[in-house]
Amino acid sequence: MKVFLSKYIGFCEGVRRSIAMSYDEIRKANGNVYTDGDLVHNSRTLDRLAYAGIHKLQDDQSLPKNCDSIIVRAHGVTPARRKMLGALGCRVIDATCPKVLRIAGLIKKYSNEGFHILLAGKADHPEIIGLCGYAPDEKITVLSSAREVSNLKTCSEKIIVLSQTTFESEVFEEIANAVLKRFKDATVKNTICSSTINRQREILDFIQSGCDCIIVVGSKFSNNTKSLYNTATANGCHSLIIKNSQDPELANTKKYNCIGITSGASTDYQDAYEIYERLLLVSE
Of 256, 257, 229, 223, the C-alpha closest to 242 is: 229
- Residues identified as active-site: 127
Alpha helix (H) ranges present in 52-168?
Answer: 79-86, 98-112, 126-132
Of 149, 215, 204, the C-alpha closest to 178 is: 149
Of 164, 163, 237, 253, the C-alpha closest to 204 is: 237
Q: How far apart are CA 16 and CA 36, in angstroms?
A: 17
Of 269, 261, 266, the C-alpha closest to 6 is: 261
Angle at 155 between CA 153 and CA 157, to 5 degrees: 155
The sign of the torsion formed by the CA atoms of 125, 126, 129, 130 equals negative
Q: How far apart are CA 143 and CA 176, in angstroms?
A: 10
CB burial of residue 246 (10 Å; 0-12, 13-18, 19+): exposed
